[in-house]
Amino acid sequence: MVEAVHRFHAVAVRNGAVVAEAGDATLTCFMRSSSKPLQALPLVRARDDLTTEEIAIACASHRATPPQLAAARALLDRAEATEDDLELGPQEGRPPAPIFNNCSGKHAGMLALCRAHGWPIEGYRLAGHPVQQACAAAHAEAAEARAEELATAIDGCGVLTFALPLERMAHAFARFPQLDRADRIVEAMRAHPELVGGPDGADVLLMQHTGTSYLAKGGAEGLLCAVDLATGTGYALKCEDGSSRGMTAAASAFLDVGLPPTGVRNTRGELVGDVSLRTTSP
C-alpha cells in the first residue's frame, strides 16, 4: 500500500558544470541548516583555538544528546558567553532551555565569532549585524554570487537564511573544500558526524558509510547538500513537499552510494514500512 509520494529534485555540479540532474536544477529555495558549514567559515577564519568537536557542533543540527550538548556548552564557554546570551527560542518536544535547541551550536559559534572580533553580542542574529553580514559574504564566496543578490528570510532559529537555485547550492558545496580554512570544517565534520545530527539523518549516514568520501549537511524542508571530496562533485537534493523521510533513499540513488535504509518504524521501534525509490521522466 503506497501511503505517500515525495517528489525530489536533484543536481550534481563538477568544475562549474552540471553533470547530472533529476527534476528542476533551477529550483530556488532557502538553504536553511544546509548553510551551517558555510556559516562556520567566518568562525574558523577568526579563531585558531577551536577543537574539532567545537567546529562540528557549530555545523550541527543536533538531537540534544549528552555529547552534543557538551560540545555546544564547550563552544559557549569558548565564546565567554552563557546560555542567556543565546538568541534562541525553545524547540518543540525539548526542554525549554535554549541550549537544547538543535541550532545552539551554530549560535554558540556566532557568539564566539563576536568575541574574536570585539563585536557586540546583542542582536547577533539580526540582518544588520556583522555576524550575519559575514555569513552572507561566505555564501556569496562559495556560490560565486553577489551577496546583495541573495534572497534572505528569517530561519527557524532566528538568523538569516539564504536562497539559491539548487545548481548554485551544489556549486557552492563543490567549491567549499577549496575555500580558505574550510579544511578545518571538513576535518571536524568528518571526524565527528555523530555531533552533526541524528543517527538516521541522510547527512550523517552519508558521512559514516562512505569512508572519507563525502561531506554532507541537511536542512529543513527536505534539503540535502553534499560534496564528494574525491571527485569535487557537489550535490543538492530537495523534496518538493518539504519532507525528509525519503532523503536517504533519494541520496542513495542519485549519488549511487549504499546507505542503510531508514524505513518507517512505530512507537515500539518495529519496522512497519519501507521507503523506496520510483523514478519518473523529467
Task: Identify the CATH number of the domain defined by range 8-273.
Answer: 3.40.710
Residue type, 180: D
- 235 three-class SS: strand
User: DSSP class of residue 98?
Assistant: G
Tens digit of pLDDT for each residue in 28-77?
A: 999 999 999 999 999 999 999 999 999 999 999 999 999 999 999 999 99
pLDDT, residue 277, reads 85
Tens digit of pLDDT for each residue in 204-241?
A: 999 999 887 999 999 999 999 999 999 999 999 999 99
Cβ–Cβ < 8 Å for 23, 7: yes
Tens digit of pLDDT for each residue in 118-177?
A: 999 999 999 999 999 999 999 999 999 998 889 999 999 999 999 999 999 999 999 999
pLDDT, residue 280, reads 67
pLDDT, residue 276, reads 86
pLDDT, residue 102, reads 98
pLDDT, residue 230, reads 96
Give 152: exposed, middle or buried? Use CB within 10 Å, 0-12, 13-18, 19+.
Answer: middle
Phi then psi for 115, rounded to 5 degrees? -65, -40
Q: How far apart are CA 208 and CA 32, in angstroms?
A: 22
Q: Is 75 left (phi over 0), alpha (psi -120 to 50) or beta?
A: alpha
pLDDT, residue 261, reads 83
Q: How far apart are CA 148 and CA 233, in angstroms?
A: 26
Tens digit of pLDDT for each residue in 87-105?
A: 999 999 999 999 999 999 9
Looking at the chain, how many residues does it have? 282
Measured CA distances, 134 to 51, 121, 240, 252, 270 (Å): 21, 14, 30, 34, 46
Mean confidence (pLDDT) of the chain: 96
pLDDT, residue 211, reads 80
Has residue 282 got a pLDDT over 60? no
pLDDT, residue 212, reads 76
Q: Crossing angle of helices 104-117/66-78, nearest 10°?
A: 10
Q: Where are the alpha helices (DSSP H) in 79-201?
A: 104-117, 130-143, 166-175, 182-191, 193-196
Q: Where are the alpha helices (DSSP H) in the chain?
A: 36-39, 41-46, 52-58, 66-78, 104-117, 130-143, 166-175, 182-191, 193-196, 202-208, 247-255
Nearest in space to 170 (alpha carbons), one of 220, 110, 231:
231
Tens digit of pLDDT for each residue in 231-279?
A: 999 999 999 999 999 999 999 999 999 998 888 889 999 999 999 888 7
Q: How far apart are CA 196 and CA 47, in angstroms?
A: 20
pLDDT, residue 232, reads 97
Sorted by where each begins, the domain ranges of the chain are 8-273
Has residue 82 got a pLDDT over 70? yes
Task: Show the cell assigned to 270.
Answer: 518495529
